[in-house]
Structure 1
């Protein structure tokens, strides 16, 4: 079993695509690196901003959480 690194909400917030090159988002306690996605350029995807937990916002998205399976998991949100 792989143990994932744990990151706080404040650490996640720094990976918003504005101040650092990493663009991370969290969903259901898991943090994903979406840096390579053209849809997350500059840390924004439609009305969603990177560097935060998108769990509550996903219910309004036109896709399911399976879309995150193509992104690298970088850690757990604590």
Structure 2
């Protein structure tokens, strides 16, 4: 019995993700520039991440070698 046989059929039989075509290919096909198109497929954000999100990631980068607090001590403390 191989691994695929052990998987839940609901998961095993899910269709494989089909990514959208690259923006450059669509632009070429319609005779436009990629700079004039906004791709909204594939859950992409044409505006990029917010400055606050970038700052939060930069602040967290120095602690990525540690596991997060699974008991969410500070969150519980704040909420109580």
Name the one with the larger strand percent.
Answer: 1
With structure 2 as the length reference, what TM-score do the two structures score? 0.19
Query: Which protein is bigger by CA-based radius of gyration?
Result: 2
- Relative contact order higher in (CA < 8 Å, ≥ 6 apart): 1
With structure 1 as the length reference, what TM-score do the two structures score? 0.19
Name the one with the larger helix percent.
Answer: 2
